[in-house]
Amino acid sequence: MKIHPLITDTDSLAQLCDRLAQSDFVAVDTEFMRENTYWPELCLVQIGNLEEAAAIDPKAPGIDLGPLLDLLTENHDVLKVFHAGPQDIEIIFNLTGKTPSPLFDTQIAAMALGQAEQIGYANLVESWLGLTVDKGARFTDWSRRPLEARQIDYAIGDVTHLAKIFPKMLDKLRRTGRGAWLDIEMEKLGDPRQYKPDPDTLWQRIRPPGRSAQILGRMRALAWWRETEAQDKNLPRGRIMKDETLADIAAHPPSTQAELGKVRGLSGAWRENDIGARMMDALFAARPLTAAEMPPKSPRGPALGKEGALVADLLKLLLKIRSREIDVAARLLARSDDLEALAAGVRKGLPILEGWRFEQFGRDALALVEGRMAFAIADGRIKMTRTELAVEPEEVVVTAALAEQP
């Protein structure tokens, strides 16, 4: 594999992208800094295939990233391969308003092949290539210039290894027939809505101090104001105002800007500065949430209760057994929220009752909660057995208690 010198000019970048455009796939990675900014600061882009790889300096004077961004977002014939790609994809989306397409994430694929949930890159390289990744430059300040040779070598290694791993993964996915399992996951990864936060819904990420429509309305207005301030100033949200302070102001709103000096988490300058004035304007303009806008009391569906909790435990045990049997990460098959919803009686809108998840796990999970399947012990191992007649709900609970015994 040919490793090019650091690319710092548009002509060299365009020539590289022209060659890579003839590939079936390219491995992509980025280095960025975002500790002190709202928008991640792109500091380096690495890209390559099995023949060549290069690092590109987006901070080089006069360089135009257009050829690279066109390859990533406009060329739909070349598959873009990432590892744990959301943050890389977010940066590309911020620059173009588009996500790379088509794309593939080796961290997600690893779960379908029985590897750990959210496997790290170093562990992935070791398991597939038998190599140890040098982590010496892991905590580099990538915004500083000039970059040292060891830093560039470290960064390029992220795509040279990935380019070798991907064909091996693809071959195993084809042999196991699990490639189709990943289609929906990759579609979610490439959904632009994931990378464009909606200021009107950001308040829902903050722990509310109560369920009052007035308090939640103020939270929504303050979260929208904070997001706008953070974007305009290019500062992290927490630098503008921490979640706890925002929620406290929503619950106990000051009547005048002068009272902001008494709010825990704010400096005395808020009593008379411009940002304090804008926050008070947002607070005064807030309106209570309507009944339709109020969040559900129980987003997971009906309350489980004691009996339902036992059934949920049974489903989690079934998930462990099935994931072990088919050698797939349990998280890819089902999430705890879905299992609890199924135990509580929910039957619509659950991923485990659709597509390949239903075939591999959901059908048996449904049979278990409906009394058509039970646990048994054979040769010291727990296995599933189908019952000829549906058992009563009380019998399912008894089975749960027995299954939990050592």
For residues 31 and 41, give the distance between their C-alpha atoms in angstroms, rounded to a whole number. Answer: 9
Sequence-ordered list of residues with C-beta below 8 angstroms from that of 377, at least 6 positions apart, any chain: 383
Buried b (16+ CB within 10 A) or exposed e, 310-338: bbbbbbbbbbebbbeeeebbbebbbeeeb
- The two tokens of residue 292 are 């339709």
Rounded CA separation 77/97 (Å)? 19
The residues carrying an active-site annotation are 29, 31, 88, 154, 158
* CA pair distance 317, 310, nearest whole angstrom: 11
The residues that bridge with 382 in the sheet, in sequence order, are 377
187 CB burial (10 A radius; 0-12, 13-18, 19+): exposed
Distance CA 370, CA 316 (A): 15
Closest residue by Cα to residue 287 from 244, 240, 250:
250
Name the token pair of 367: 């049979």
Task: Report how far residue 102's alpha carbon sits from residue 78's, in angstroms, rounded to the nearest whole number.
Answer: 7
Residue with tokens 């990432």: 82
Residues 108, 110, 114, 120: is their CA dihedral positive or negative? negative
